Amino acid sequence: MDEVDAPDSPNHDAALPDEVYSLVESVVLWALLAIGFGVVVGLVVAPEVVWDDGLAPVVWDPIVEDASDTGDAGYNPWNTMLYTAGLFAAVLALQALFRRWRLPSDDLMVLALTSWVVLAPVLRVLEDAHMFPEGRDLLYISPLIHLHLAAWLVGVGFLAHRLDVIVARSARPTFAERRVHHALLVGLPLLLAGFWVWVLQPIHQTNPELALAPLIGSAVAAFLCIVLLLMRTTHAPALTRALLAFGSGAVLLSLGYYIALSLHLSDLYVGDPYNAIVLWPLLVIVVVPCLVGVVLHRLGASDLRHLRASGHEPGVLPAGISLKQWEADPEAFADHPVERLSNRAMLASPLVILMVVGQLSDGLATFLGLDVFGYGEKHVASQGVIDIGSRINERLGIDFGVGAWFFAVIKITLVSAIVVLFSRMRVEHRQQHLRVLVVLAVMIVGLAPGLRDVGRLILDV
């Protein structure tokens, strides 16, 4: 059956309307406003307490040290807790706002946001190689790099969303959609040119010797990518199309500088026994996880196709039905497409595939980086896991590496848990944005570090 009405139950069990905040969402939103207001007031009234003794040593000083020639300052327990709490709070707050604003939460939006996650490590590796001028490099240190790119994302998204509003209010929507399409074709390349001026052009101040061929080639590829994606996504809202096209174009444009840097370093490394350009980590850290993603997609593609043909999304309850109602009478919903097909269909969803690829990439990159290439770990929690692996090495008499293999094992275990959890998890219709932003957060702490690591390993920086 394709349509299921909510069973008779007390009104308080029904799902909340999308425009209504839950108690937790309201608390988080007001708490963030209060904290933000308190920090601003504190910076004005008592800067020596809030900044000198608080935010500066915990947040700002590690960023400045990370951008210095010594590079890669480690995290401490305080900023680790602060960033973790901030990430959780941001997910809860933003998903509530996105749901109320009725922003898209489909697969195309997931891919659009993923392009921005990929952009961060590409720029971060350029900073690792000290490509950016002093002062500007601070913008490409975590967490500032994510806030910096978030500002670009919000700017592009706001402009595109206004175009969606124009279409919605137009008396001739078909005509308005054509005009919006033409506006995107012209506007996004211009915005990308602005991105180049602000983000990438300063690189030439300190690196004038970069080859022009990969830079020109990447610019052409970025332009063609924007045009192609816009032409292939005319069915989607302007917001999704703009974020996907601009994010993908920015990745290609930035990769041109990465390729130019690799060509420059390959010339410098000639005859150097301690440095070299190596490509094989790409196979382990990127290709292997992607192959796992392909396998997952093949396992669930058929059920996903049938589930969507019935008008439902994997794991998402029909509109108006709460999770409490769904779980209270499992027999009533046992034959519903969501219950019958979601477990396998979820395997083919970008939500699961991207999380799996990201976590595997991070685990394998940490293993290669520390145990094979001799890099160090900067995250407090990760170092704690690696220390356990080191103690296991000592007890077993293993001389290889520093125990980062155990971190990879934990990540593989986590991936397995993710697959099981998401395949069996059911969410209310109003919680789709929450699910998307949870995946985005997991990619920020998994896929982004993994891609940064592989970028560093290839260039030996």
Tell me the per-residue pLDDT of 133-168, one tens digit each, with 9 for 90 and over.
Answer: 988 999 999 899 999 999 999 999 999 999 999 999
- Both tokens of 153, joined, read 């994302």
- Both tokens of 81, joined, read 């807790």
pLDDT at 7 over 70: no
Return the higher-pLDDT residue of 188 and 17: 188
Residue pair 252/221 in contact by the 8 Å Cβ criterion: yes
Predicted pLDDT of residue 14: 76
Predicted pLDDT of residue 76: 83
pLDDT at 335 over 60: yes
Across-strand partners of 311? none
- Both tokens of 373, joined, read 């290439």
Q: What are phi and psi of 455, to 5 degrees?
A: -65, -40
Residue pair 461/342 in contact by the 8 Å Cβ criterion: no
Angle at 324 between CA 322 and CA 326, to 5 degrees: 70
pLDDT at 372 over 90: yes
Predicted pLDDT of residue 207: 80
Residue pair 404/392 in contact by the 8 Å Cβ criterion: no
Predicted pLDDT of residue 1: 43
Predicted pLDDT of residue 268: 85
| Structure letter (DSSP) for residue 346 | G
Query: d(Cα 31, Cα 60) in Å, to the nearest integer?
Result: 23
Residue pair 195/188 in contact by the 8 Å Cβ criterion: no
Residue pair 289/360 in contact by the 8 Å Cβ criterion: yes
Stretch among 129-133, 156-160, 299-303 having the lowest mean pLDDT: 129-133
Q: Kindly indicate the confidence band of residue 9, based on its pLDDT and cuts at 50, 70 and 90.
A: very low
* pLDDT tens sequence across 18-63: 899 999 999 999 999 999 999 999 999 999 999 999 999 999 998 9
What proportions of the chain, in percent to the nearest 5, are helix, strand and coil? 75, 0, 25
Predicted pLDDT of residue 209: 83
Predicted pLDDT of residue 330: 86
Chain center to CA of 29:
22
What residue ranges do the domains of the chain occupy? 14-102, 106-273, 278-461
The residue whose two tokens read 């309850």 is: 317
Q: Kindly indicate the confidence band of residue 223, based on its pLDDT and cuts at 50, 70 and 90.
A: very high
% of the chain exceeding 70 in pLDDT: 96
For the four alpha carbons of 67, 72, 76 and 79, in that order, the dihedral sign comes to: positive
pLDDT at 406 over 90: yes
SS3 131: coil
For the four alpha carbons of 434, 435, 438 and 444, in that order, the dihedral sign comes to: negative
Q: What is the mean pLDDT of residues 405-412?
A: 95
pLDDT at 387 over 80: yes
% of the chain exceeding 90 in pLDDT: 79
pLDDT at 72 over 90: no
Query: d(Cα 382, Cα 407) in Å, to the nearest integer?
Result: 7
Predicted pLDDT of residue 12: 58
Query: d(Cα 434, Cα 100) in Å, to the nearest integer?
Result: 12
pTM: 0.92
